[in-house]
């Protein structure tokens, strides 16, 4: 059984269809990137994946989502919190607003689960180290930079030891160095954690995701390998390609990229294929 | 700059358990309601002396005076000049009331004491220590959240208010004219501030639920503040005395 299964999920808000018949399944340990333009339904889908939806005010018009075979509404809160964590794009909105140090912020979730002090302390220490936050452990989370705050939020999510980690445009507001830090962190996560990364561009997810999906107007229009999805005509019309693929596309427009040769998506592919093109032309 | 009043205190007040200090505050405030004005004046002088001997005594005194002075002046003017019929002329010019004078001194002494005690508590108790103490005593997490979140979010809110003000001024909103124009400008500043605050609350509430906040009636605390051996008994005595003094104050008021 897949870890997460969505069958024909349709969700409307204020008379507008936000998610339109989404059907997909995610296996344990998968690294999935869901791409889509602004307003394509990524954040709403992330909230469904994380169990923030449905809630008392909002329900699906059709279809359902199950995690480990059960719908989120059947999960008691502590079990759900230990199963899935969502990290959004504005870290300041996700800090608890109750803890005065980074260490206590990270320990907040495990503390809420009522775990023994030794376990909370050990988990907090491990996660602070993993997220390179040990030197900031005594700082007030609200005084950190955006990148440090986002790492604190990710650390707080990891401290819950989730089986599924959802990251919804986590580096949108960060500078390149802070983004790189987050990507390295996500790339090095233990393989048993399933990661779903939602973004407008594949630039970062290409580093670690092995499966891509394209969301357009609330519908999942393409689902497959990075090559299948990113070079699909729907994707070319919707999202920004990685720089290497953009360069190849420009070369194709200029007539110097051979027909049938796939655009390179990573630096390694770019090196090989541009060498090949150079060799063919000489 | 942090809005916290807390300053590191190495003396006995700094070492005392936060809940014991809270009980001391409650006891002291209920005590000031029942003592005669002379005793209130002595207590106010004592709390001032105690505040002045803190490691951050100067800063404590400044804050205490800043908070007390406008209150004291208002109480004095209202009682001496307006609340009671005048029976004395000051400098042959100002009609004042002797009874009002006595009442104002009594009230000012009580307010000075209560204000001093609260300020002492806030200066020597870090909110995080109070929260951990409450959590360790299994006080419902929601209650401690109400105590802590305004302190933590105040700076964030103030910073956002400044950003909105700057943004609106860039768009032509003028705040440098009359009081009326400032009043008219208020909605342009308040509406985005409140809207953003509500959006933040919605997201934060979802994030808190996502991290199992209030899933159980109690939570695990890392490094709770150490309690003194006499702490639990002292707190019980103080709470019992507070109830008695509060009851006495109510009885004296209605008598």
pLDDT at residue number B157: 80
For B215, which of A47, A77, A86 is closest by C-beta distance? A77
Average pLDDT over residues B41-54: 95
Q: Looking at the structure, tell me whether residues A269 and A234 fall in a common domain.
A: no
Say if B7 falls within a structural domain. no
Question: What's the pLDDT band for B90 if we cut at 50, 70, 90?
Answer: confident
Scan residues 135-154 of A and list those with Cβ closer than 8 Å to B.
140, 142
How large is the ipTM?
A: 0.85
Say if B20 falls within a structural domain. yes
Q: Looking at the structure, tell me whether residues A234 and A273 fall in a common domain.
A: no
Question: What's the pLDDT band for A102 if we cut at 50, 70, 90?
Answer: very high
Asked if the C-beta of B14 comes within 8 angstroms of chain A's C-beta atoms, the answer is no
Report chain A's mean pLDDT, rounded to a whole number. 92
Q: Looking at the structure, tell me whether residues B115 and B97 fall in a common domain.
A: yes
For A93, which of B200, B212, B219 is closest by C-beta distance? B200
Domain carrying residue B189: 140-210
Say if B177 falls within a structural domain. yes
Contact A111 B215 (CB under 8 A): no
Say if B216 falls within a structural domain. no
Please give, rounded to a whole number of angstroms, the shortest distance from the CA of B206 to a CA of chain A: 7
Q: Looking at the structure, tell me whether residues A248 and A135 fall in a common domain.
A: no
Scan residues 45-74 of A and list those with Cβ closer than 8 Å to B.
47, 50-52
Is residue B201 within 8 A of residue A63, CB to CB? The reply is no
User: Residues A211-244: pLDDT tens digits?
Assistant: 999 999 999 999 999 989 988 888 888 888 888 8
Q: Looking at the structure, tell me whether residues A170 and A256 fall in a common domain.
A: no
Q: Looking at the structure, tell me whether residues A141 and A264 fall in a common domain.
A: no
Q: Looking at the structure, tell me whether residues B109 and B159 fall in a common domain.
A: no
User: Residues B10-25: pLDDT tens digits?
Assistant: 888 888 999 999 999 9
Average pLDDT over residues B153-158: 78
Q: Looking at the structure, tell me whether residues A233 and A248 fall in a common domain.
A: no
Q: Looking at the structure, tell me whether residues A234 and A275 fall in a common domain.
A: no
Q: Looking at the structure, tell me whether residues A102 and A224 fall in a common domain.
A: yes
**Alpha-carbon span B130 to B19, nearest angstrom:** 7
| Positive or negative torsion for Cα B51, B56, B58, B62 | negative
Residue A101's alpha-carbon distances to A84, A118, A159, in angstroms, are 24, 19, 15
Own/partner contacts of B246-250, CB < 8 Å, gap of 24 or more, are B246/B30, B246/B33, B248/B34, B249/B30, B249/B33, B249/B34
CATH number at residue A9: 3.40.50.300
Which has the closest alpha carbon to A197: A86, A41, A90? A86
Q: In chain A, which residues have their Cβ closer than 8 Å to the Cβ of B5?
A: none
- Candidates A47, A98, A157: best to mutate against B (most CBs of B within 10 A) is A98
Q: What percent of chain B has pLDDT over 90?
A: 53
Say if B85 falls within a structural domain. yes
Say if B89 falls within a structural domain. yes
Tokens describing residue B34: 């029942």
Say if B156 falls within a structural domain. yes
Q: Looking at the structure, tell me whether residues B102 and B44 fall in a common domain.
A: yes
Please give, rounded to a whole number of angstroms, the shortest distance from the CA of A73 to a CA of chain B: 13
Q: Looking at the structure, tell me whether residues A267 and A232 fall in a common domain.
A: no
Contact A93 B203 (CB under 8 A): yes
Contact B215 A113 (CB under 8 A): yes
Which has the closest alpha carbon to A142: A87, A86, A101? A101
Q: In chain A, which residues have their Cβ closer than 8 Å to the Cβ of B156?
A: 92, 142
**Alpha-carbon span B35 to B29, nearest angstrom:** 11
Domain carrying residue A273: 241-282
User: Residues B69-87: pLDDT tens digits?
Assistant: 999 999 999 998 888 888 8
Q: Is the link from the previous residue into A54 a cis peptide, with omega within 30 of 0?
A: yes
Q: Looking at the structure, tell me whether residues B169 and B206 fall in a common domain.
A: yes
Say if B4 falls within a structural domain. no
Q: Looking at the structure, tell me whether residues A73 and A167 fall in a common domain.
A: yes
Q: Looking at the structure, tell me whether residues A174 and A272 fall in a common domain.
A: no
Q: Looking at the structure, tell me whether residues B26 and B118 fall in a common domain.
A: yes
Which has the closest alpha carbon to B117: B18, B166, B46? B46
Q: pTM to 2 decimals? A: 0.85
Q: Looking at the structure, tell me whether residues B123 and B167 fall in a common domain.
A: no
**Alpha-carbon span A281 to A273, nearest angstrom:** 12
Instruction: Name the strand (E) or helix (H) holding B77.
Output: helix B57-77
**Alpha-carbon span A190 to A28, nearest angstrom:** 12
Please give, rounded to a whole number of angstroms, the shortest distance from the CA of B128 to a CA of chain A: 6
Q: Looking at the structure, tell me whether residues B30 and B117 fall in a common domain.
A: yes
Q: Looking at the structure, tell me whether residues A132 and A259 fall in a common domain.
A: no
Question: What's the pLDDT band for B161 if we cut at 50, 70, 90?
Answer: confident
Total domains in chain A come to: 2
Q: Looking at the structure, tell me whether residues B72 and B191 fall in a common domain.
A: no
Res. B208: pLDDT tops 70: yes
Q: Looking at the structure, tell me whether residues B152 and B228 fall in a common domain.
A: no
Q: Looking at the structure, tell me whether residues B80 and B126 fall in a common domain.
A: yes
Taking residue B75's Cβ as centre, other Cβ atoms within 10 Å add up to: 18
Asked if the C-beta of A99 comes within 8 angstroms of chain B's C-beta atoms, the answer is yes
Q: In chain B, which residues have their Cβ closer than 8 Å to the Cβ of A115?
A: 220
Q: Radius of gyration over alpha carbons of chain B, in Å?
A: 23
User: Can you give chain A as a three-state secondary structure string?
Assistant: CCCEEEEEEEEEECCEEEEEEEEEEECCCCEEEEEECCCCCHHHHHHHHCCCCCCCCCCCCEEEEEECCEEHHHCCHHHHHHHEEEECCCHHHCCCCCCCCHHHHHHHHHHHCCCCHHHHHHHHHHHHHHCCCHHHCCCCHHHCCHHHHHHHHHHHHHCCCCCEEEEECCCCCCCHHHHHHHHHHHHCCCCCCEEEEEECCCCCHHHCCCEEEEEECCEEEEEECHHHHHCCHHHHHHCCCCHHHHHHHHHHHCCCCCCCCCCCCCHHHHHHHHHHHHHHHC
Q: Looking at the structure, tell me whether residues B102 and B156 fall in a common domain.
A: no
Total domains in chain B come to: 2
CA dihedral defined by B48, B54, B59, B64, rounded to 10 degrees?
Answer: -20
Q: In chain B, which residues have their Cβ closer than 8 Å to the Cβ of A103?
A: 222
Own/partner contacts of B188-193, CB < 8 Å, gap of 24 or more, are B189/B161, B189/B164, B189/B165, B192/B164, B193/B157, B193/B160, B193/B161, B193/B164
pLDDT at residue number B1: 45
Alpha carbons within 13 A on the beta-carbon side of A278: 6
pLDDT at residue number B3: 60
CA angle (A27, A243, A171) in 5-degree steps: 55
Name the residue of chain B whose CA is nearest to A121's CA. B222
Q: Looking at the structure, tell me whether residues B127 and B204 fall in a common domain.
A: no
């Amino acid at each position: 059984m897949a870890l997460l299964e969505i069958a024909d999920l349709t969700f409307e808000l204020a008379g507008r269809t936000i998610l339109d018949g989404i059907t997909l399944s995610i296996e344990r340990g998968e690294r999935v990137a869901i791409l889509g333009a602004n307003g394509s339904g990524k954040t709403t889908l992330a909230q469904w994946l994380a169990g923030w939806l449905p809630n008392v005010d909002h329900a699906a018009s059709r279809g359902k989502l199950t995690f480990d075979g059960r719908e989120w509404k059947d999960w008691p809160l502590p079990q759900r919190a230990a199963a899935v964590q969502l990290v959004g794009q504005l870290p300041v909105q996700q800090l608890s607003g109750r803890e005065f140090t980074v260490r206590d912020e990270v320990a907040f979730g495990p503390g809420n689960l009522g775990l023994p002090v030794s376990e909370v302390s050990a988990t907090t220490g491990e996660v602070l180290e993993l997220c390179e936050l040990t030197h900031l452990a005594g700082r007030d989370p609200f005084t950190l930079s955006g990148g440090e705050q986002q790492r604190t939020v990710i650390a707080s999510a990891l401290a819950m030891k989730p089986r599924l980690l959802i990251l919804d445009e986590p580096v949108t507001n960060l500078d390149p160095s802070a983004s790189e830090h987050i990507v390295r962190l996500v790339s090095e996560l233990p393989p048993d954690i399933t990661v779903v990364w939602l973004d407008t561009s594949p630039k970062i997810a290409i580093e670690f995701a092995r499966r891509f999906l394209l969301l357009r107007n609330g519908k999942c229009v393409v689902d497959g390998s990075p090559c299948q999805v990113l070079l699909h005509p729907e994707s070319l019309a919707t999202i920004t390609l990685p720089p290497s693929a953009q360069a190849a596309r420009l070369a194709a427009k200029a007539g110097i990229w051979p027909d049938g040769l796939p655009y390179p998506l990573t630096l390694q592919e770019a090196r090989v294929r541009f060498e090949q093109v150079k060799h063919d032309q000489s | 700059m942090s809005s916290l009043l807390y300053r590191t205190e190495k003396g006995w007040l700094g070492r005392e358990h936060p809940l014991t200090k809270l009980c001391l505050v409650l006891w002291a405030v209920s005590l000031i309601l029942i003592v005669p004005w002379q005793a209130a004046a002595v207590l106010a002088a004592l709390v001032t002396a105690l505040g002045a001997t803190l490691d951050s005594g100067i800063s404590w005194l400044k804050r205490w005076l800043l908070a007390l002075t406008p209150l004291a002046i208002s109480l004095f003017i209202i009682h001496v000049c307006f609340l009671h019929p005048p029976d004395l002329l000051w400098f042959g010019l100002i009609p004042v009331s002797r009874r009002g004078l006595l009442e104002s001194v009594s009230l000012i002494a009580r307010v000075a004491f209560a204000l001093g005690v609260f300020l002492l508590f806030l200066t020597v108790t870090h909110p995080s220590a109070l929260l951990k103490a409450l959590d360790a005593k299994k006080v419902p997490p929601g209650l401690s959240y109400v105590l802590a979140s305004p302190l933590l979010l105040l700076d964030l809110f103030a910073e956002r208010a400044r950003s909105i003000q700057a943004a609106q001024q860039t768009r032509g909103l003028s705040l440098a004219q009359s009081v009326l124009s400032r009043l008219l400008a208020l909605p342009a500043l308040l509406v985005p501030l409140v809207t953003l605050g509500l959006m933040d609350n919605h997201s934060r509430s979802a994030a808190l639920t996502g991290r199992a906040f209030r899933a159980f009636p109690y939570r695990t605390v890392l490094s709770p503040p150490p309690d003194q051996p006499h702490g639990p008994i002292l707190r019980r005595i103080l709470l019992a005395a507070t109830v008695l003094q509060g009851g006495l104050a109510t009885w004296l008021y209605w008598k």
